[in-house]
Structure 1
Amino acid sequence: MRVLRLTLLLVTALLAGCNFKGVPDPQVSSRDSEWLAEVPKAQEDLRYGRYLIDDPTGEAPGTIVVDTKERFLYYVMAGKKAVRYGVAVGDEAYGWTGTARVARKAEWPDWNPPAEMKARWPHVRYTKGGPENPLGARALYLYEGDKDTLYRIHGTNEPEKIGLAVSSGCIRMRNIDVIDLYNRTDVNAKVIVR
């Protein structure tokens, strides 16, 4: 039985390699390395790895598209390519869809939960940026026009939840993935959440 499982895992990994090209980890600062080492590790699900693929969105280069049903985020590149990342999304009660723009970006941001979240969960509180912060290594702040949507694309201190619908609407990524996306994304980039 164990040999069969190992064989299936190996075949799955080999087939994934045929369809997708892995994207190397971005370079990180010494602070990033130190803090990333403090975030709990999770067994990585190869389905939600970071891959260079043919662009399935048809959007302009520089656009971010989030497919909430499939739990993937696409960063559209030139040449009809995209980088695909696995994400955790909002559960049905809290999910947000629409078109926004990245109004600002932050490294290891502080987290101040919105009033609605504090009302639902009185235990949540302001948390300074760092490895224990729910926003993780980076955050992209989504605005509709000049109005903050209060939704973010951000890292996580719960990497085991990538691929699930568990957040209060934000798009969570593995910290190394959100660093990669942060480095690629310009302020005012278009974001489409479907």
Structure 2
Amino acid sequence: MRRFAPALAGLACAVVAWAAPAAAYEIDPLTRQPLTQALTVTVRPSGSAASPDAMDATVPKISPIPRETVAYNGPYGPGTIVVSTTERRLYYVLGSGQALRYGIGVGRPGFTWNGVQSITMKREWPDWRPPSQMIRRRPDLPRYMKGGPENPLGARAMYLGGTLYRIHGSNEPETIGTAVSSGCIRMTNDDVIDLYSRAKVGAKVIVQR
């Protein structure tokens, strides 16, 4: 497996994983010998070949850090997203003293940030185009990757202000709860689909260290 690990401060958000196709064999039930060799190819879904709903059906409904409803007595109103990079948790404020808490991956040392932004755009199964700064540092990276299960932005992306930071899904759920990104907030695909369905364009996002 070949892996690309974007490492641009404040811009790169995820790791791209490429998987080599696996070979499958049809076995004669009597002789137990291979009859034919068939190449099993994983086709990356495209807009014409698979709808977002069809791709959503492939998302595992399990997270290394299960989301849960928790008590919340902070100062922010319903619909606000509060990110605690220290806890590596994201809170979606429900109101009435409650919030939904999700596990997240955050920026590695030297790539953390804090501040107030808002969601300016939302995308389902977004395409990925590494910024020019990243390409200069990592010329081996693909210049474009269509949205789909192999895409490092995952199932959903919510873009924060005029920055290149995003809250997005991930094709590496094992990184949730760790500090490995270059500034973006990553979630499991299942969790980011859930948050995406709740958060509105214009919602306030508070990022705390």
Q: Which amino acid aligns with 2:89?
A: F
Structure with the largest fraction of helix: 1
Gaps of 5+ in 2: 1-51
Gaps of 5+ in 1: 1-27
CA distance in 2, matches of 1:57, 1:171: 21
Q: How does 1:89-104 map to 2 (within 5 A)?
A: 89-104=106-121
The alignment status of 1:149 with 2:167, answered yes or no, reads no
CA distance in 1, matches of 2:114, 2:90: 13
Structure 1 residue 44 displacement after superposition: 4.5
Instruction: Pick the aligned partner of 2:54 from 30, 33, 43.
Output: 30
Contact 1:140/1:152 (8 A) holds in 2: yes
Q: How does 1:8-47 map to 2 (within 5 A)?
A: 29-34=53-58, 36=59, 44-45=63-64
Q: CA RMSD in A?
A: 1.8
Structure 1 residue 168 displacement after superposition: 1.2
CA distance in 1, matches of 2:63, 2:203: 29
Q: In the alignment, which residue of structure 2 is the partner of 1:169?
A: 183
* CA distance 1:56–1:168, change in 2 (3 Å): farther
Contact 1:57/1:65 (8 A) holds in 2: no
CA distance in 2, matches of 1:32, 1:91: 29
Kindly name which structure, 1 or 2, has the bigger radius of gyration based on alpha carbons.
2
Structure number with greater CO (CA < 8 Å, separation at least 6) is 2
Q: Which amino acid aligns with 2:105?
A: A
- TM-score for the superposition, normalised by structure 2: 0.70
The superposition leaves residues 94-133 of structure 1 with CA deviations (integer Å, 9 ceiling, x where unpaired) of 2221110000100000011122222232222221100010
Range 86-95 or range 159-168, more displaced:
86-95
Q: How does 1:108-147 map to 2 (within 5 A)?
A: 108-125=125-142, 126-143=144-161
Aligned length: 156
Percent identity among equivalent residues? 55
Q: In the alignment, which residue of structure 2 is the partner of 1:192?
A: 206
Contact 1:138/1:155 (8 A) holds in 2: yes
